[in-house]
Structure 1
Amino acid sequence: MADLLDDHPDLDPCLVWPDLMKAYYRRLKGDTEVRVKFSTQAGHTEEVEFGDVNPDKILAQAERLKAACARKSGKRIRYAITGRFRPRSY
């Protein structure tokens, strides 16, 4: 599955990833065809249809968009482990 941000650069990932999560849950529920409508930053409406797609691919796309939203908003998504908090192994 191609990345939606590559195909549509004017998409706001913070608005799209919740809709993809809804599509993921509908697909898990057993719906065979799932359509998702969302608005772009330019004011256009886009529609994506997921036919017979593995739900894991929809989830992976939603996670990529969620990470892009976190980067865009400046939220820290990765944390380093410091040495003083590592447990000692005996």
Structure 2
Amino acid sequence: MSEANETIEKAVIEALAQLRPFLEQDGGDMELVEITEDKVVRLKLLGACRDCSMSAMTMKAGIEEAVKKAAPEVLRVEAVEPV
């Protein structure tokens, strides 16, 4: 992994760590799956977040906004289905 990608990953992980308590408060969580070469952050929503009708809004308005603020290089954040 290049140094630039490591820096992006650290920033993304830090942003997610700051958001995690809010998700956990409602019985949910998230897991970083990957950051693609084209700077797309892929997350797996867990627990209550997985089935919540508000998860799309949480993803766009909360998680994506915080991730992009911490790592402006990120183009978007998307959810992947749990396996």
Q: Same fold (TM over 0.5)?
A: no
TM superposition score normalised by structure 2 = 0.31
Looking at secondary structure, tell me which structure has more helix per residue: 2
Rg larger in structure: 1
